[in-house]
């Protein structure tokens, strides 16, 4: 009997109150492929509540178009401006609710974890992340827009893809001796 190749679609979101990035990654077996990459431009909307409504509607539209199985979203980083953090948190929350209303599980990733997964350097620049994604996923320059928010969102989706096949390690071990002491059934 031939087993069908599993397919999963991951929606990545880089939350923002002026520009919100999104990237849609299709994974067939172990092969990732970019389905869509773009931004939700909110700069023309001056009312902060209408921005939230627009985010919800656009994220729902992206979900309807691509039917993602999971959402990977970048966690807001801690800034000094409390008002900016509140606005960013609201935007992130609305995107999360849009996914949850469609029963799509959500996973949040810290920017450092995403950068580390993509480039091997948690302090990588947006440009370095975008360049690495272009190379790994064979994205033509013409598909990369002027905003790095789209590639940041794709980075969240790709980070999630990388994490899918890696079970979380429950215990930390200080040495092989410690590992053997805690796992005697694995020693022959």
For residue 167, the model assigns a pLDDT of 46
Answer yes or no: is pLDDT of 122 > 60.
yes
Can you list the domains of the chain with their CATH numbers?
Answer: 7-186 (3.30.420.10)
User: Is residue 178 among the annotated active site residues?
Assistant: no
Annotated binding residues for Mg(2+), written as ranges, equal: 14, 74, 149
User: Is residue 149 among the annotated active site residues?
Assistant: yes
Encode pLDDT of 14-45 as tens digits. 999 999 999 999 999 889 999 999 999 999 99
Annotated catalytic residue within 70, 149, 178, 185:
149
Annotated catalytic residue within 7, 14, 69, 185:
14
For residue 172, the model assigns a pLDDT of 67
Annotated catalytic residue within 7, 47, 70, 74:
74
Distance CA 73, CA 92 (A): 8
Answer yes or no: is pLDDT of 187 > 90.
no
Encode pLDDT of 81-105 as tens digits. 888 888 899 999 999 999 999 999 9
User: Is residue 127 among the annotated active site residues?
Assistant: no
């Amino acid at each position: 009997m031939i087993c069908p190749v599993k397919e999963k679609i991951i929606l990545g979101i880089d939350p923002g109150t002026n520009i919100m990035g999104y990237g849609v990654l299709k994974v067939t077996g172990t092969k990732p492929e970019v389905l869509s990459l773009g931004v939700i431009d909110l700069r023309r909307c001056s009312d902060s509540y209408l921005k939230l409504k627009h985010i919800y509607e656009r994220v729902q539209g992206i979900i309807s178009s691509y039917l993602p199985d999971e959402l990977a979203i970048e966690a807001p980083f801690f800034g000094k401006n409390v008002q900016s953090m509140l606005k960013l948190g609201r935007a992130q929350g609305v995107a999360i609710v849009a996914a949850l209303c469609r029963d799509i599980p959500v996973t949040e990733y810290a920017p450092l974890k995403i950068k580390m997964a993509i480039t091997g350097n948690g302090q990588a620049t947006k440009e370095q992340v975008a360049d690495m994604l272009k190379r790994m996923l064979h994205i033509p320059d013409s598909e990369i827009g002027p905003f790095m928010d789209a590639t940041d969102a794709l980075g969240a989706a790709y980070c999630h893809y990388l994490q899918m096949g890696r079970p979380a390690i429950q215990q930390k071990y200080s040495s092989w001796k410690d590992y053997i002491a805690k796992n005697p059934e694995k020693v022959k």
